[in-house]
Amino acid sequence: METSKVQSFKSPLVGEIFCCMANPTIKKMSFKSPLVGEIFCYQNEKIKILCFAKNSYNHQNFLKNMKIISWNVNGIRAVERKGAIQNLIEKYHPDLLFLQEIKGTPDKFSAYLNAPEGYEAFYNPAEKAGYAGTGVWIKNEIRKYVDSVQTGFEGDPTANEGRVSHVILEKNDKIFDIFGIYFPNGGKSSEAWDEKLIFYANFSKKMDALRDAGHFVLWGGDINCAHNEIDLSRPKENDGKIGFHPAERAWLDDRAANDWKDIWRVQNPTTEMYSWWDQKTKARERNIGWRIDAFWGESQIFAATKNIEYLTEHLGSDHCPILIEVEF
């Protein structure tokens, strides 16, 4: 049998491309690449393998849509040990990756987490060890559009818990404010509940002010609340409890009434979908869950949305990631 002749080369955008000619009588073959189009491979007596793309890659076209993923990792070092965050990057190549519940500080993170290949990592850890915290990874290709990375907002009563990561981007005279948030649970004490309501009120002021200034505003992450009965498996059993409390749901009602859109739900009004499952009861195996992770946006972002989906097959945490693509 003729031994296959294989050659590979690295592409900064699509990774390693392999070209193989198993039969010397085959002079030409081609395969499709979703990013660069059709790639042709030629073989002759002098050149074993020659590969080129039919369609040249246009970086500006690539950045026409911005791909954003949000994921509550429930411990960033844990998902790294499982290979789950590496797999997410390799499969989806997000432009922005927002992370919630990182549960650690950069001085305790690995070299990979502090300097992931192709990205710049920013973290907003909680002061309390092993608790809360958020972060965002920004792909190098869009770094030039980033004006700043910020944390918190005025009047945040949980500022020492690292719950907010905020990326501001500018392109073609448009300003994008993208937030990844780990909303307070509020169930530990009456004080924690009061802080949650204050968080809601002051966060709303911040979002409305940015929208009213003409910015493209997208906020999401772990909302820590199921909005309506369709958003959890057992609404009757959980009615009035934290996570499905009338006050929490009323706040989301208020956001919707003020022209903020739960983007996935608006596009999928009758579809059952969950993003969190109780690990102790192995609820994910039975799909007994809650949809408490979401992206909300104002009308400009909603109109610019090209795709939004829950990555329910991606494991590693008790939450699944959510992906959105918006015209940039």
Q: Which residues are catalytic?
A: 222
Any residues with CB less than 8 A from the CB of 160 and at least 6 apart, and which? 126, 127, 128
Please give the Cα distance from 167 to 158 (Å, whole number): 19
Element (H, E) at 246: helix 246-257
Q: Which two tokens stand for residue 132?
A: 């809360």
Each as own residue / partner, the long-range contacts of residues 166-175 (CB below 8 Å, 24 or more positions apart, any chain) are 167/96, 167/136, 167/138, 169/142, 169/145, 169/328, 170/145, 171/63, 171/145, 171/328, 174/216, 175/147, 175/213, 175/214, 175/215, 175/216
Please give the Cα distance from 41 to 22 (Å, whole number): 12
First vs last C-alpha separation in the chain? 51
Q: Which two tokens stand for residue 40?
A: 């042709």
Q: Which two tokens stand for residue 126?
A: 């909680």
Residues 231/291, Cβ–Cβ less than 8 Å? yes
Quick one: DSSP state of residue 232? B
- Give the SS3 label for residue 299: helix
Q: Which two tokens stand for residue 4?
A: 């296959």
